[in-house]
């Protein structure tokens, strides 16, 4: 099974997309296998992270902002604004794809795990994730 998940983000942040991915799976074949998600952008990323305490997500955001500052004097690629090159670096440091086992038609995530789109740009806009199920 292959599907495209079209999303709209409101700007920088971590967006829990677990339920949107799971909603694509009912009735899918195979019922056992591997779900791979791939984001088709160079300034956003995907990750599996805790979905219970929002402070975890806030701490991740704060850490990343300190690690990769939005300071145009540090970069040569600046024509798309002060958040563009830092967004590319953040994407390079994280991941553009994740894989999750599929068991009995369900994502085999841990109790406190969720799938997140991590948007690194300030501006809102569309994002596209390819969902592939192998098994």
Q: What is the DSSP letter of 72?
A: G
Q: In terms of residue numbers, what domain contains 41? A: 28-134
Give the model confidence (pLDDT) of 56-87 as tens digits: 999 999 999 999 999 999 999 999 999 999 99
Whether 92 is in a domain gets the answer yes
How many structural domains are present in the chain? 1
> Which CATH number characterizes residue 88's domain?
2.60.120.460
Q: How far apart are the first and last CA of the chain?
A: 9
Predicted pLDDT of residue 21: 97
Whether 3 is in a domain gets the answer no
Give the model confidence (pLDDT) of 87-132 as tens digits: 999 999 999 999 999 999 999 999 999 999 999 999 999 999 999 9
Whole-angstrom distance, CA of residue 20 vs CA of residue 2: 14
- Based on its alpha-carbon atoms, the radius of gyration of the chain, rounded to whole angstroms, reads 16
């Amino acid at each position: 099974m292959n599907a495209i998940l079209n999303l709209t983000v409101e700007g920088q942040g971590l967006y829990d997309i677990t339920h949107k991915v799971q909603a694509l799976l009912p009735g899918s074949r195979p019922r056992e296998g591997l779900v791979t998600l791939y984001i088709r952008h160079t300034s956003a990323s995907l990750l599996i992270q805790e979905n219970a305490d929002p402070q975890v997500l806030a701490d991740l955001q704060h850490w990343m902002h300190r690690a990769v500052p939005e300071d145009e004097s540090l970069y040569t690629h600046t024509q798309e604004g002060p958040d563009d090159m830092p967004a590319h670096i953040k994407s390079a440091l994280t991941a553009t794809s994740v894989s999750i086992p599929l068991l009995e038609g369900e994502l085999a995530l841990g109790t406190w795990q969720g799938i997140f789109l991590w948007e690194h740009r300030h501006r809102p806009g569309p994002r596209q994730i390819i969902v592939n199920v192998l098994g």
